[in-house]
Structure 1
Amino acid sequence: MLYDRIIKQGTINERGGKPEPQFALPSTVNWMRALRILAEDEGIDFGTATAFYGKEGKRKMDVWVENTVLEQLFLGLHHLSALDQFRGGTTAADYARVGVLAWYYGIANAASAMTAAQSGSFQEDHAGTARLWDEQIASRGLAMAPFSWRVSSLVEKTYKAEVDALRNGSAGKLQTRPSTKNDALGAAAGYLSGSAKWYAWKTEEDLKRERAFKELGVDSFRSKAARTLRDQRLERKPMGFVHQAARYRGKANYREALFLAYGSGTETILSGYVEDMHAVLKAFLAMAGAFARRKLGKDLWSEFVADVDAKKAFTTRAGDIWA
């Protein structure tokens, strides 16, 4: 009954019916598995990340910037601790949706810590955080794979060529659960391509509401003038890992109620899902922490880790991630 009502009939905001939830679920789970495989293949932990940032030195920053870096890392660690507790649950569907939110906000907090440590910059909205992290970190070679994966623009011919290079000949598909690095390369490339296509579509929809487009007197991008206007906008829009994470969170937070929670096969598809989210966030936090340590200096860093483990109210230890 609920499926027929929501999917076939629709709701106030989608009166023609909602998307089929079982179509999106496998790709949602498989992208996270692919990220875990690639991060583990890279061997990301605090030690390898510290070596990766070996050329980064301490940066002079005021106390408010230092405090922002520490605050954002602490928030990220708290989200990781929540995922750690979810791993002990018996029914994945009970915590899959809130697990995605914990995963995303942990990523966003860690990304914000990195940008604050890099340039003293901080954004409080999702789009701004993603843009700033891509600009300050990923585009400068300061992220480890697979978190370094990005496209330099949303022009289709540009991002498709860049995605193909990252795919590296893999035949892996996003719709199939990856089990090897080769599978994971294809699945991650598929999600990157799909995200670029989605952000390009969103950019087009936003552009249609602007005066420059309306003055063309058209309703699509079929004309040369409209395509030129669109491509000029798309060319200036790169997209990186935190953009993908924000889109991922949006699916869980705003998609119809049945996604992640309805259907006899859902629990089987979700097997291992929260463990994958935990592993990926742990790797990203290890990377962010290693970067922050270089920028803050070892004395403040050691004081921070010791204080967290002495005073935290949650379970996960800072020393298990950042030492």
Structure 2
Amino acid sequence: MSNWLLDRLFETGDQPKPRFAFQGTVNWMRALAEVVDSGVCDKVNLKNLYQKVQRRHVNPEADNWVFENMHMAYNNLAALNTMNTEAIDKYDMCSSAIVSWYYAIYFASSAMIAASSGSKQENHTATARVWQADIAEKKLIPYPFDLYLSSLVTNKAEAEVAVYRGDNEFDLNQKSGGLEVAHGGIVSYLKGTHKYKREEAEERIQNSKEFKALKVDNFRKKIAKELRDKTLDKGKVNFLIQAFRYRGKAHYRDSIFLSYGENHMDSIEQLIKDLNVVALGFTRAASHYCSVRVEKGTWELFVDDIKNNTRLSLDVETIRV
């Protein structure tokens, strides 16, 4: 069967091979879901993780930001839940499901930042940067959401990836089947995101006034390398940055691969389930953290209020600690 649209897009040279794009998308989410399903985000484990977190001084404005963002995360969880339980043809919402998944992660992350430092960010990149400093680097999120790279400089990032990987040789070419395979896929996506962010940063550097003033064409000369690495060393990779890349790949840049061409209905149905599992696990973790940071007693009031007034079908117990 002819794929007129795909052939046309390939002519531009910008379209990835659908098989590899699809494989990476479903296998990363499968790997994450397997780890979450192992119990890392169960109530007992989350209570143990956050048992030493101190409640902060009363800050009504910051708490308002916590509750507003958690309510938006809850809205996106509700959308994912309905896609799983009510929708018949999962192909119809696979792209929208990834967007809902991302925003559940994003709003839950914003709530955690508000609970930590009370700060607000103006864009997604800033949110990811602060989330790494406030949450990931302080080990306030469970595995698999805790992996991060402290720099985009290649030798530094590769050394950190090597520590995470150990002797695990699995990557996203294997469909996850067991926690060892899942870990290999998770580290593989972290490494791939480093490459993506590094190349993105290098392109910005080459277009900068500072680079053009050096009168060079690449980063081979020492002075160009120093400029590049000084900038790259400020870059980070964490779960929120990976989630943002994932949404972009599936919803914008590589969007054709999800619902076009070969029939992968079984994989798509599994993907929709896995998106829900992962978003739910992350939001549960965020809920537990936020509950021990906001003014005492207010988390229970928040959850009860949602239970009494929401028009959404999702069980509010998903965010009760």
One fold, TM greater than 0.5?
yes
Choose which of 87, 99, 107 in structure 2 pairs with 1:109.
107
Q: 1:242 to 1:256 in 2, by over 3 A?
A: closer
Matched residue type, 1:176: Q
Distance 2:14 2:142 in 1: 41
Choose which of 81, 85, 100 in structure 1 pairs with 2:82.
85
Tell me the TM-score normalized by structure 1: 0.94
**2:171 corresponds to:** 173
**2:23 corresponds to:** 26
**1:9 corresponds to:** 8
Matched residue type, 1:211: K
1:239: how far off? 1.3
**1:292 corresponds to:** 290
| 8 Å contact from structure 2 (residues 59, 295) kept in 1 | no
- State the identity as a percent: 33
Q: 1:257 to 1:58 in 2, by over 3 A?
A: closer
Distance 1:66 1:16 in 2: 48
**RMSD (Å), alpha carbons:** 1.8
**1:303 corresponds to:** 301
Q: Which moved more, 1:246-255 or 1:166-175?
A: 166-175
| 8 Å contact from structure 1 (residues 8, 16) kept in 2 | no
| 8 Å contact from structure 1 (residues 45, 321) kept in 2 | no
**2:276 corresponds to:** 278
1:256: how far off? 4.5
1:272: how far off? 0.8
Matched residue type, 1:10: L
Choose which of 250, 253, 258 in structure 1 pairs with 2:251.
253
- The answer to whether residue 192 in structure 2 is matched with residue 185 in structure 1 is no
Distance 1:45 1:315 in 2: 22
Distance 2:280 2:266 in 1: 24
| 8 Å contact from structure 1 (residues 151, 239) kept in 2 | yes
Q: Secondary structure at the match of 2:292?
A: helix
**1:209 corresponds to:** 207
**1:35 corresponds to:** 32
| 8 Å contact from structure 1 (residues 168, 185) kept in 2 | no
Choose which of 58, 83, 87 in structure 1 pairs with 2:55.
58
Distance 2:249 2:124 in 1: 14
**2:217 corresponds to:** 219
Q: Secondary structure at the match of 1:207?
A: helix
Q: Summarize deviations over 1:185-219 as a string: whole Å, max 9, x none.
A: 11001000000010000110111111110111112
1:318: how far off? 2.2
| 8 Å contact from structure 1 (residues 83, 278) kept in 2 | yes
- The answer to whether residue 46 in structure 2 is matched with residue 49 in structure 1 is yes
Distance 1:163 1:306 in 2: 42
Q: Secondary structure at the match of 1:10?
A: helix
Q: 1:146 to 1:256 in 2, by over 3 A?
A: closer
Q: Which runs of 5+ in 1 are unaligned?
A: none
Q: Summarize deviations over 1:244-289 as a string: whole Å, max 9, x none.
A: 0011111122125422110123323323111111111111111101
Q: Summarize deviations over 1:30-79 as a string: whole Å, max 9, x none.
A: 11111111223352133421221111121124322111100101110111
Distance 1:285 1:47 in 2: 15
Distance 2:93 2:62 in 1: 34
| 8 Å contact from structure 2 (residues 31, 186) kept in 1 | yes
**1:200 corresponds to:** 198
Q: Summarize deviations over 1:76-133 as a string: whole Å, max 9, x none.
A: 0111111111112332211110000000000000000000010011113111111111
Matched residue type, 2:232: L
Tell me the TM-score normalized by structure 2: 0.94
Distance 2:260 2:209 in 1: 43
| 8 Å contact from structure 1 (residues 80, 106) kept in 2 | yes
Choose which of 141, 156, 177 in structure 1 pairs with 2:154.
156
Distance 1:285 1:17 in 2: 35
Q: Which runs of 5+ in 2 are unaligned?
A: none
| 8 Å contact from structure 2 (residues 40, 142) kept in 1 | no
Distance 1:175 1:68 in 2: 40
Distance 1:288 1:46 in 2: 12
Distance 2:32 2:265 in 1: 21
